[in-house]
Structure formats: C-alpha cells, structure tokens
Structure 1
Amino acid sequence: MKREDAMDYRLDDSLVLAAGTGKAVRMRAGQRLKLTNPFGTQAIDFWAFTQADIYEFTSMDNFRSVHSTVHVTSDTPLVSTKRRPLVSIVEDTSSGRHDTLLCACNADIYRQLGVTGYHRSCADNLHKGLAELGIRFPVTPAPANFFMCVDVRADGSLDRLLPASKPGSYLVLQAEADIIMAFSCCPQDITPINGEDRTPRDCLIDIFSPAGSA
C-alpha cells in the first residue's frame, strides 16, 4: 500500500494463492486486501459475497449497468445484486482495467478445448474455497477478472489480449461491507490468457485492518 496509507493499517495475515488454486477469506468492512501478481501475467477470477446474505454477491451485469463500462477500475466499485458497493480498488499498479465479460473457466470449457479427464477450473476453485468456510452455493456467478485484458472491438466482438501488467503489479481492495472475498488463480494452461507461455503462476495475498481496530 501507499506509504501514507500503510501507517494507518496493520498487517493481519499473508498467504500464497498457489497457481491453479482458489481461496476464500472473510473480510470486515474497512479491511483491505493486497493482491500481488509477482510475474504480472496471472489472471485472477474474483467474487465477493455479503456475510449477512450469501445471495447478495458481486454482480457483473449490475456493475455494467451502474457504471456504463465493461472494465473494473479504481473509479468503479464492484456492486452487488442489490446494486450497492461491496468492494473498491483503492490502489492499482497494474494495467488499470479489469475484465467483467468472460465467464469463469469450467469443466465444459476445458472439454471444448480438448481436455480429457479432470482439469482444475476457476468455477471449481470458487466452490472449493467457499466449502473451506462451510458454505455451499448453487451456481457460479460471473467473476470480475483481475489482470485480464479483454477489449470490445467496433463490431462488438471480443479481443482477448495478452496480459499487460508488469511483474510485481498489485491491487489493494477495500471491503465496503462485511463480506467474503473469493479468488481463483486461474489454471488456464491451454490458451494464452495467463501469458504466451501458458503457465499459471502463484500470486500473493496480504490482509490489513485499520490501525486501532479490534
């Protein structure tokens, strides 16, 4: 975090978001989470669910309606199914625009790509992460895709671009309510969404609380 902000927050926890895996963490309103991309190439699928009502969660269709954009930036908080802000980006050293259009990779996508047998997916990673907190959810909501570069061409088609963030790029996310943040370090190793070498890589998570909070 910025030096002036770091004085106001204390580090509570640090963990590795291992390549191809997922994690869900409980966050209180006002806490911040720093998500670091050591190689700059790793796509991270992201969701948030309110702790009071698991069926209020980050909604990409409501996000696009509220903000009239397809990209998440530091100016566009992620909103819920009830159209209220759940997560804000308070600092971003990445390319600065994050995708809301592509679905989480899933078993059917890998099957269409020619995979036989089991392949890790962002959809599975979400549900495994929630299960570690004792939560079952019946569907896979559309994610925000951090560090993923997708543009809309003039004819309306999508342009899947190579990652554009520098090594060590990071986001600082602020919880605007008591929520669960869920992450998937995308396991895609067939298309170049995680870079030309098609190699998923570890990312890092640091969780901070306001200084003086309980």
Structure 2
Amino acid sequence: MVVPTSDVPTTVEIPAQSGAVVTLAAGHRLKIIDIEGSQVADLFAVSASDLDEWLSVPVTRACTWRLFPAVGQSFFSTAYRPLLTFERDDSPGAHDMLEPPCSAEMYRAMAYAGYHPSCSENFRTAAVQVDWHPQSVPDPVNFFQRSPVEADGSFTALPALTSPGDSVTLRAETAVHVVVTACSMDLEPINGDHCTPLRLEVGP
C-alpha cells in the first residue's frame, strides 16, 4: 500500500508477517507502533527522486559511529545523505543495525522445510509498488530488536522488550519511500511467543 504525500495524517495497518510501503514528503513523520508488544519492525527506505539511493546500514554505522540507533541521529543513504532522522523513541530503546532481513535462504539454513514468509519477500512485495527493484534486499534497521553485543564481540538476538503501544518516530529529511515489515521470524523468540501486527502513522 502506498500512502500519497499530503498534510492529512494516514494510518496503515501491517498484518503479522507482512509489510507495507509509505511515501513521506520532506519534513513529514512516520510513527511505527508495536500494537501487541514484542514485535520487531524491519525498516527500509529509498530516495523518492533516485531509486538507486537507499538507506544503507553500513554507511549509517560509519557516519554515526554507532552499532545501534539512537534518538537524534540520522539514517544515511548509499550517497552519504541523511534520509531519515530518529526523532522520538517511546519504547525501551533496544534497536538493531546488525542483522539482515529474514529470507527463504535463512529458513532453509535453519532446516525449515516448506514455505515460510520472510521480511525479504515482504520487502519486495511492498517495494515493487513504488517501482523499487534493488538486485539485493538491503539490510534493514530493525526497530525493537534486541541484539546486545558481549565483551568478546559475540551477540545474540533476544526477545523484544516492547509493550503494547510502544513506538518510534522518524522525520523525513527528503522525500522518501519507506518499507516496513512486521518481522516474520518465529523459529527464534525475537518476536516473543508469536509474530504480531504493526501500525504506521504518517503525517506532518
């Protein structure tokens, strides 16, 4: 679903193990709400004026000198331009920029037999609606995901700490298309006991 750029606030519901795309004008905001709690939100973004310039997690880490997102920082593109700014965090504050999106390949590597929905598939289903067709699925910003790094450099993905209604708010620094997926991983407990929906609020 694509939300037209306007000054009228819009709400988008993302069912469990699904995704959606929204369009933000420069200065507009996106609020991502964890409706039931313990649900990870994978976020991808691309410049609305150049579909070859998308949010790069490695570039963002290099520009911010941070492994994990923090309020006040920007998320940078492959061209080292800020696309979004992390404006507000109404959650316990655990977010991730280390893990790739779950994918069919990941589930096969985990010895899952048969079809399983994934953030990679849901990303492509949403991105095609704005004619975005990257050769590889970009690494996402995993809001609400808890992946603490230990002193020896190892890290583990743990259940999200969010409660129902917890949220994060981002501000667009330029016109962007943003894809958000409600993470599909249910073989490990990063989404609590089961995968649940998300809600997006878009507006000035």
Q: Please classify the TM superposition score into its range, dividing by the shorter chain length.
A: over 0.9
1:73–1:97 contact (8 Å) kept in structure 2: no
Shift of residue 152 of structure 1? 1.1
2:39–2:162 contact (8 Å) kept in structure 1: no
Q: TM-score, normalised by structure 2?
A: 0.93
Does the alignment pair 1:143 with 2:140? yes
Counterpart in the other structure of 2:3: none
Distance (whole Å) between structure 2 residues aligned to residue 48 and residue 111 of structure 1: 27
Counterpart in the other structure of 1:212: none
Counterpart in the other structure of 1:204: 199
1:43–1:146 contact (8 Å) kept in structure 2: yes
Distance (whole Å) between structure 2 residues aligned to residue 76 and residue 13 of structure 1: 25
Shift of residue 184 of structure 1? 0.8
2:83–2:173 contact (8 Å) kept in structure 1: yes
Shift of residue 10 of structure 1? 5.5
Does the alignment pair 1:87 with 2:95? no
Does the alignment pair 1:161 with 2:152? no
Percent identity of paired positions between Structure 1 and Structure 2: 30
Structure 2: segments with no counterpart, 5+ residues: 1-5
Does the alignment pair 1:38 with 2:38? no
Q: Within 5 A, what are the aligned runs for 1:74-153? A: 74-153=71-150
Q: TM-score, normalised by structure 1?
A: 0.88
Shift of residue 11 of structure 1? 4.3
Q: How many residues of Structure 1 are paired with residues of Structure 2 in the alignment? A: 199
Which SS does the other structure have where 1:159 is aligned? coil
2:130–2:177 contact (8 Å) kept in structure 1: no
Match of 1:64, as an amino acid?
R
- Superposed CA RMSD in Å reads 1.5
Shift of residue 132 of structure 1? 2.2
Give the greater-gyration-radius structure (CA): 1
Deviations 1:185-213 (A, max 9, x none): 11111110101x1x11011111112xxxx
Structure 1: segments with no counterpart, 5+ residues: 1-8, 210-214
